[in-house]
Amino acid sequence: MSEKAEIFEFGQFRVDVLRRSVERDGQPVALSGKAFEILVVLLEQRGEVVDKDALMGQVWPDTAVEENNITVAISALRKALGETPASPKWIVTIPGRGYSFVGEVRCDPATAETSPPISPTTVPPPPRSSRSAYHFIAGAVLVAFSAYGLIAWLTPNLFAKRPRSVAILPFYVLNQDSRNNQDSRNDYLGLGLTDAVITRLGNTQLVVRPLATVSRFAERDPIQSGRDLGVDAVVEGNVQTADNRIRVSVRLLRVRDGKPLWAQTFDVASDKAFALEDSIAERIVSNLSGTLTAQQQSALNKRPTANASAYANYLRGEYYANKYTEDGFRKALDYLQSAIDDDPAYALAYSGLADAYYDTSNLVFPPNEAMPRAKAAAQRAVELDPSLAAAHVSLGVIASKYDWNWDIAEREFQLALAIDPNLADAHLWFGLYRAQLGDFNRAISELRRALELDPLSSKINCYLGIVLYWARRYDDSINQLRQANTFDPAFVPNYVGLCWALNAKGDTKAALYACK
């Protein structure tokens, strides 16, 4: 086996094992946790064939996974490194065996565990012949530190920590026209544009709050909203439509001090919505993360469809699905199906349709009617785009909640987390699945991670309290559910869970009061 190292360099890439980061020409490369771990294993055993079983054992040591997990992670890794299976530059597939990392690799050996710490008393004095050099070096270091301090004092923003999390607040539509019918473009354009930018930013290393959470912060003070959402930066904007044109004004604000980081107004033709979203997402990322590499630019501008009509119907479908009413779900199903009719290869529309059918179970349709439709839509989404994490989550939910197939549920949740480790819903539903199996420690850990990614989610706050109740941690459950009520007093499941936990503690009176 090749020597372990803390830093690997190959081509334009630099891999820092301890910091778990990958850079290309000094710019960060987005890579999921499992794909990064696979890269490190291949680098450590460069020039050797790493068989698939060994790779699964090292990257998923405590989890039973299938070969498809590796396939998805290797695919993501190849995209990050700018290569394809047909023309590999770094990772070669060895048919029937596994993978091998090829190419020249430069590395710095890890010495932290073998070198003893050096204290001031153990440092030997320099020889007489080198004392002048010693004093020169010490003076140079002192001058360098002084210069660094002066620059930092004169330009404090130069060394400021870059924001790593952002909330895209709902875009406000300025010219609502009461003469338009309720399916007009103005009804969904603001929320649809918000959802589209959030989706685009999901292809970056930024942690982005999901639409379901930020939609509660419409028309509120953006800085306070950012503090409540626990993010480093917020984006606010407004939309105007007139004469087949769209004008969008956008501001990016730093939450810590309210400082504007960027502001711009876009004015485009109505049929240029894709280009508009590209521009907004690109400006946000470049102002938060610096200059984009060609690969990051390509991932950011990845478009789920080129059909404008399909895209408009998808936005309408998502707009009505987020209303969480029977009428809203019925309209959502119609619009999402129209999007698919317009573009049968629109994977994101299939994924949205799967979620809508799941949400209509028991509300609009009986489970035996809604769930098979949800499953078929999610399967089609994955067939069209295996890298769509949300669709894998949907398949995991259906397998665990309807089909009771633990193997498929485990596989799909693991795939979703390998593709997008910052997807709060993936951690939420995987945690609930582990709770079904009685693995409460893992369940609570996953739900806490989901809460870190989406701290104001009504569902996550509530389900964490309920899982704590299932684990018989009644005091923790009561505290969590009471806290959840402060976030969303109208979320009914909070009171149901609180009633259960209080009753389990023997506080019948408080339990009855909570259930009123």
CATH classification of the domain holding 30: 1.10.10.10
What pLDDT, on the 0 to 100 scale, is given for residue 30? 80
In the listed set 385, 414, 434, which residue is the last one of a domain according to the structure? 385
Residues 89, 30, single domain; the answer is yes
Amino acid sitting at position 263: A
What pLDDT, on the 0 to 100 scale, is given for residue 188? 67
In the listed set 267, 282, 300, which residue is the last one of a domain according to the structure? 300
Q: Phi and psi dihedrals of 252, rounded to 5?
A: -110, 120
What pLDDT, on the 0 to 100 scale, is given for residue 341? 96
What pLDDT, on the 0 to 100 scale, is given for residue 144? 45
How many Å apart are CA 288 and CA 252, to the nearest integer?
9
What pLDDT, on the 0 to 100 scale, is given for residue 475? 92
Helix 458-470, helix 492-504: angle, nearest 10: 20
Does 504 map to a domain? no
Q: How many domains does the chain have?
A: 3
CATH number of the domain that 367 lies in?
1.25.40.10
Does 333 map to a domain? yes
Does 140 map to a domain? no
- From 46, 19, 35, select the one nearest 78 (Cα to Cα): 35
Residues 324, 368, single domain; the answer is yes
Does 278 map to a domain? yes
Residues 172, 266, single domain; the answer is yes
Residues 103, 174, single domain; the answer is no
Helix 347-360, helix 389-398: angle, nearest 10: 30
Residues 171, 296, single domain; the answer is yes
What pLDDT, on the 0 to 100 scale, is given for residue 514? 66
How many Å apart are CA 434 and CA 440, to the nearest integer?
7
Does 448 map to a domain? no
Q: Could you tell me where the beta strands, DSSP code E, fall in 45-90?
A: 50-51
Domain, as residue range, for 280: 165-300
What pLDDT, on the 0 to 100 scale, is given for residue 468? 95
How many Å apart are CA 112 and CA 364, to the nearest integer?
61
Residues 291, 311, single domain; the answer is no
pTM, two decimals, is 0.61
Does 228 map to a domain? yes
Residues 231, 349, single domain; the answer is no
Does 123 map to a domain? no
What pLDDT, on the 0 to 100 scale, is given for residue 262? 86
Buried b (16+ CB within 10 A) or exposed e, 420-447: bbbbbbbbbbbbbbbbeeeebebbbebb
How many Å apart are CA 491 and CA 494, to the nearest integer?
6
Residues 191, 265, single domain; the answer is yes
Does 465 map to a domain? no
Give the DSSP letter of residue 438: T
Residues 54, 10, single domain; the answer is yes
In the listed set 283, 300, 317, which residue is the last one of a domain according to the structure? 300
Residues 287, 374, single domain; the answer is no
Residues 238, 321, single domain; the answer is no
Residues of the chain with pLDDT under 50: 1-2, 110-160, 177-185
Residues 170, 296, single domain; the answer is yes
**Contact between residue 381 and residue 388 where contact means Cβ atoms under 8 Å apart:** yes
**DSSP sequence for 280-302:** HHHHHHHHHH-SPPHHHHHHHT-
CATH number of the domain that 179 lies in?
3.40.50.10070
Alpha helix positions (H), 158-307: 185-201, 211-214, 222-229, 273-289, 294-300
